[in-house]
Amino acid sequence: MRTVLYTFAVFLGILLSFHLVAADECGQTPTDNCTISTSTTFTPGNYQVENITIIANDTVVDCNGASFTHVYGILFNVAGTTGVTIQNCYATGYSRAVTNYLGGGSAGLLPVETLTIRDNTFEGVVLPILINNAVTGYSLSPEFPNHQIINNTLIGSVTAGIQIIKAANNYIADNLIDGSGAPNYNGIWLVSANNILERNTLHMAKLNLDRALGWNSTNATITENNITDVYRAIQLETGSHGAVIQDNSLENVGLGVYVRSDNHVIRHNTLRGEESLFDGATSTGVFIETDSTPHKDSVIALNIFENMSEPAYDAGENNNWSEDVDQGPEVTMFGNFYENYHQDIQSVGSNYCTDINFDNICDDPYPFNVIEQDDFPLRSRSLTDFGGSSTINAPYVQPLADFYMNELDQVQVVITASSPVNAPLTYSIKNQQGQVDPRFVPVVGVPNAFIWTTSLFDAGNYTFLAVATDNEDLNHGVPFSVYLNESDSNCSLYLPNVIDGCEVRSSIILPAGTHVVPHGISITADNVVLDCNGATLDSTNSDFTGITVINRQNVEIKNCIVQNNARGLLVDTSANVQVHDSTFSNSLGNAVNLINSQNIQIQENILTLSLQGVIFSNVQNSLLYKNQIINNQDGQIILGGSSSYNNITENTVQSYFGIIPPPIRIAQYLAQDNVVYRNNFIFFPIGANGAPADSGTNTQWTINGEGNYWSDWTSQFNGNPRVCINNNWDNFCDTPYLIRFNSQDTAPFSIANGWERNYPQITVSTTTPQQGQPMTIQLVDPDMAGQLYFVVGDIFTGSGLPMGDGRVIDLAGSGVFFAMVENPYNLGFSFSGIFDQQGVATITWNIPQIPGLSLSGVPVYFNILPFNPNLPYPQAILRTYRSPGVVIQ
C-alpha cells in the first residue's frame, strides 16, 4: 500500500508543479480553475465559478454560506486527496458539486480517501456527490469512518444524489435528498462495502446497493432512514449481501425492499404502501426476487406492513420471516405485523388471524402468493418493538365461573379486565375458533356486558372465550362454559310471548304484533286451530320454514302473516288442513309447499314475493280457492308429482315486472284430473316460456261452460288468435285460449271475475232523443279506470269494420268512424275522453239541427273504444263496446 501511495504522490507532485504554473490559489474569493492548498474560508457572496481543485491533504474548505452557480461543470475537484472537508456551501446548476472523477474513463480517476462533506445544500446539480475509486491497482485501506457525508441537502438532482464506487467503510447520515420524481431515481447509489446509512430522509428517491465493475456492496447497515413517495425504496441488488436494514420508515412506496441477494436482516421497519404510485400495480413490502439462483438465508421480522395488498413476496429459499424474541422467562418466535391480517375477521386465503391461546400471535400463518409464509404473524404493532412484552403489557381478564341454565334462559356475562398500562379496553365473547360469537349481544351502555338469549334449539354444552383487547390490539381472554338443559317447547306455556321454534300442541290464539321466530313454529298435534290473530311471524331471512305441519290431521291455520323464511308454509303427509285469511311472503323458496297430502284447503290467502307461489307435489283432492298469488319469481302455481283431483278456482294470479315463469304450470303427466277454472291469470310473459303450460293428463280448464280470464293472449304457444275476440260484447271470448303442450281453455272469460259480473254495457239516457236536444251516453268498466277512449257513432247497421286481429267494430262502413276521427264535431259531440278513477265514461251529445236535413227516424249506435297510445294498432284498442240503438225523433 505504501508503494502505491508513493507512486500516487510522485504523480501528484508532477500535477502540482503544473498547477503552480497554470492555476492561482483561490484564497477567500474563488475564481475559475483556482486551487486550494491550505484550509480556506470563503468570503460570503455569489460566485459563478467552476473547477476549484483541492491539492492539499487534511484541508478544510468552508464556504461560509457562499453561493456557487454555473451551467454544468464541476465545483470541487478532490482527486488524489486525503482528509479533505467541504462544508457550508450552496451550489446550483453544476454537473457535479464534489467529485474526484474528471471524466475520460480511468485516466480521469485519482482515488480520494476520508473525504468529509457536511452541512451543504446542492440544488439542481446533475449528480451532486460522486466518489469513484475504481482505479486499477487501488486497494481499499481506510478503516471506518472513511468518507463521511453528513447533514447535506440535495434537491432536484437528475441521475443520483450520492454515488460512491469502490470506497468502503463510509458514513452517510442526516442528509435530505429530494429527487426529481422519476420512478427509479437513486437518492443514494452505492457500489461499495461496509457502509453505515442512518437518519437520512429520501423523498422521491431510493437507496440502491448495487454491483458494478466487479465491486459489491456487502455488509451495509441501514437504520432510522425515512424514504417516501418512491416506487422502490431500498434496492438490494446482486452482490449486496449481508445488509442490516432496521428501524427505517418507508412511506407511500410501491415496493419497500427489493432483494436480489442473500443473508440480510430486515427488522423493525415500517413499510406503508401507495397503490397508485408510478407503475406499481400493487404495493409490496419486501419482495425477494426470482433469479436463476434462489436468494436465501435472510431474516425478515418485527416489521410493520401497512396499506399493502401484497405485503410480502418470497421466491427465494430458506428465508426466515420470524425470529426468536426473549421475553424473560421464555423465548417466543415473532414474525411481522400485517395491517390486512391482524384481527379475527381478517383472512388471507383460508387462513384467519385468530388468537385462541392469547399469545398475540395469529393462530394461522400469513401465506404469501408463493410457497413461503410468515408462521408467526403479530396481532399488534406494539409487538414489533423487538418483541415488546405481550405477557406484561397485554390486558388481563379475570376468570369466569361456568353457567348451568335451561333453554330460553338468558346467559348474562360481565367481563372484568385490566390493563397494566391503563390502556382503554374493548370486550368481546368469541367461540372456540376465535371468532366473535353473534349469540352474545352487547348490552347498550355497558361495554363489558353481554347477553345470550337462548332458544329451544340450544340445549347442549358450550365453551366460549371472554376477551379484552386494548388500543394496541393486544388481547387476553379466559374460557368459560355454558351448560343448557332442554326446555318444554309447547307454545302455550310461554304466552303472551311467541317462542322461536315452539310447537302448537293445542288450539291457540297468538298475541298481535311481530314475533321474531328464525326457526318458525310447528304444529305437532291433531285437531288444533292456530289463530295468529293478525300477528306477524318473521323468520329474519333464515333457512327454516315459517309454519310446519307434518303428519297431522284436522288442522286449521288462519289470520297469520308469515314472512322472510326459507318456506312460508309446509304441509307434508297430512290431511284435512285448512289455511285461510293469511299472508305468506318473501320466502327464499315456496310461499306454500304441499307434499304427499290430501284434502288441503288453501283459501283467501296472499302468496307473494317468494321464489314460487304454491307447489302441489303428490297432493290429492285439495282446493286452492280465492287466493291472490302475486309476483313470485319462479312461478305462481305449480302442479306436479302425481297431484290429482285438485280444484284451482277463483284465484287471482299475477306475474308482473317481466317475470318469465308462467302463471300456472302443470308439470308432469302424472298430474291428472285436476280442475282449473274461474281464475284470473294476469301476466306479462316473456316469450313462450312465460306462457301457461300443461303437460298433465286430463286437466279440465272449462267447467259448465266457464273457463278462466287471461289478460295476455300474445304468447299463446299454438299461434292465433293474439287477442280475446269478443264481437258480441258478452262475458266470453269467441275463441279458445290455447295452452302450451296442446291444452286449451274453451270458454275463456273476456273480463276479470267474469263469473261474478257481466260484460260492461253502454247505457243511454233515452232511446228516443229529440233532434236539437242533448242526450247522455255512459259506460262503467272499473278495468278501464284512467284509460283513454274514442267514441264513434254509426247510422244504421252494417257488416262492421275489421280491425285486422279478428275483432270487428260494428259499424256500417259508411265512413262515419273516419269522419269522426278527422272532425270529431261534425255530429256535435267530442270523440275522445278518459275514464275516471272509478272506470266511468260519460259523454253528452247535443243532437244538431241541420238545415235542410231531418234526422227524424234515423237509428244511431254508439261505440266506445278504450285505447293505449303506447301500443301499435290494432293492439292499441283494448276492448269494444256497442250501445243499444236509439232513434232520433
- What are the pLDDT digits (tens) for 33-84? 999 999 999 999 999 999 999 999 999 999 999 999 999 999 999 999 999 9
Long-range contacts (CB closer than 8 Å, 24 or more residues apart) made by 423-426: 423/395, 423/470, 423/471, 423/472, 423/474, 424/470, 424/471, 425/395, 425/468, 425/469, 425/470, 426/468, 426/469, 426/470
Give the pLDDT mean for 758-763. 91
Widest distance between CA atoms in the chain: 145
The confidence score (pLDDT) of residue 280 equals: 45
10: enclosing H helix or E strand: helix 2-22
Q: 300 pLDDT exceeds 80? A: yes
Tell me the C-alpha distance between 86 and 321, whole Å: 43
Tell me the C-alpha distance between 682 and 654, whole Å: 5
Q: 463 pLDDT exceeds 70? A: yes
**182 pLDDT band (50/70/90 cuts)?**
low
The confidence score (pLDDT) of residue 306 equals: 94
Q: 825 pLDDT exceeds 50? A: no
The confidence score (pLDDT) of residue 275 equals: 57
Q: What backbone phi and psi angles, to 5 degrees, belong to 557?
A: -125, 125
Q: Are 19 and 77 contacting, i.e. CB atoms less than 8 angstroms apart? A: no
Q: 657 pLDDT exceeds 70? A: no
What secondary structure letter does DSSP report for 200?
A: -
Give the pLDDT mean for 326-333. 70
Q: 563 pLDDT exceeds 50? A: yes
Q: 374 pLDDT exceeds 50? A: yes
Q: Are 511 and 533 contacting, i.e. CB atoms less than 8 angstroms apart? A: yes
H helix intervals, 407-514: none
What domains are defined for the chain? Answer: 1-178 (no CATH), 212-389 (no CATH), 394-485 (2.60.40.10), 490-634 (2.160.20.10), 646-757 (no CATH), 763-887 (2.60.40)
**712 pLDDT band (50/70/90 cuts)?**
confident
Give the pLDDT mean for 396-424. 97
Strand 612-617 to 60-62 pairing = unpaired
Report in angstroms the alpha-carbon separations of 265 from 61, 194, 220, 329, 769: 38, 15, 10, 25, 110
What secondary structure letter does DSSP report for 28?
A: T
**228 pLDDT band (50/70/90 cuts)?**
very high
Tell me the C-alpha distance between 217 and 814, whole Å: 107
Q: Are 147 and 131 contacting, i.e. CB atoms less than 8 angstroms apart? A: yes
Tell me the C-alpha distance between 307 and 253, whole Å: 10
| Percentage of the chain exceeding pLDDT 90 | 66
Look over the chain and give the mean of its residue pLDDT values, rounded to a whole number.
88
The confidence score (pLDDT) of residue 330 equals: 66
Tell me the C-alpha distance between 603 and 577, whole Å: 11
Q: Alpha-carbon dihedral of residues 714, 719, 720, 722, nearest 10 degrees?
A: 0
Tell me the C-alpha distance between 180 and 127, whole Å: 12
Report in angstroms the alpha-carbon separations of 322 from 84, 368, 475, 658: 44, 14, 21, 59
Tell me the C-alpha distance between 116 and 149, whole Å: 6
- The residue that leads in pLDDT, 666 or 887, is 887
**813 pLDDT band (50/70/90 cuts)?**
very low
Least confident piece of the model among 3-7, 206-210, 248-252, 864-868: 3-7
The confidence score (pLDDT) of residue 861 equals: 79
The confidence score (pLDDT) of residue 703 equals: 97
- The residue that leads in pLDDT, 843 or 18, is 843
How would you class 224 by CB atoms within 10 Å of its CB: exposed for 0-12, middle for 13-18, buried for 19 or more?
A: middle
DSSP-based three-state secondary structure for 583: strand
**86 pLDDT band (50/70/90 cuts)?**
very high
What cell does 190 get? 452505492
Least confident piece of the model among 330-344, 350-364, 659-673, 765-779: 659-673
Q: In 398-507, where do the E strands start and end?
A: 403-406, 410-414, 417-418, 425-430, 441-443, 446-453, 460-470, 475-485, 503-504
DSSP-based three-state secondary structure for 125: coil
The confidence score (pLDDT) of residue 816 equals: 44
How many angstroms separate the first and last alpha carbons of the chain? Answer: 142
What cell does 8 get? 500516487
Q: Report the candidate in 332, 315, 412, 425 with the shortest Cα–Cα distance to residue 376.
A: 332
- The residue that leads in pLDDT, 889 or 340, is 340
**717 pLDDT band (50/70/90 cuts)?**
low
Q: HSE on the CB side for 80, CA within 13 Å?
A: 23
Tell me the C-alpha distance between 687 and 677, whole Å: 24
Q: HSE on the CB side for 632, CA within 13 Å?
A: 33
Q: Which residues, 6 or more positions from 665, have their beta carbon under 8 angstroms from its beta carbon?
A: 635, 637, 638, 639, 692, 693, 694
609-646: per-residue pLDDT in tens? 999 999 999 999 999 999 999 999 888 999 988 999 99
Q: Which residues, 6 or more positions from 35, have their beta carbon under 8 angstroms from its beta carbon?
A: 19, 23, 24, 25, 26, 52, 53, 54, 55
Strand partners, 113: 82
The confidence score (pLDDT) of residue 715 equals: 67
Q: 367 pLDDT exceeds 50? A: yes
Least confident piece of the model among 342-356, 359-373, 506-520, 850-864: 850-864
DSSP calls for 703-736: BTTB--EES--TT-TT----S---TT-SSB-SSP
**322 pLDDT band (50/70/90 cuts)?**
very high
Q: Are 866 and 787 contacting, i.e. CB atoms less than 8 angstroms apart? A: yes
Q: Which amino acid is at 40?
A: T
**Total length of the chain:** 889
Least confident piece of the model among 157-166, 483-492, 671-680: 157-166
Strand 410-414 to 446-453 pairing = antiparallel
Give the pLDDT mean for 829-844. 83
The confidence score (pLDDT) of residue 867 equals: 84
**15 pLDDT band (50/70/90 cuts)?**
very low
| Percentage of the chain exceeding pLDDT 70 | 88
What cell does 340 get? 390486512
Least confident piece of the model among 158-167, 216-225, 874-883: 874-883
- The residue that leads in pLDDT, 276 or 858, is 858
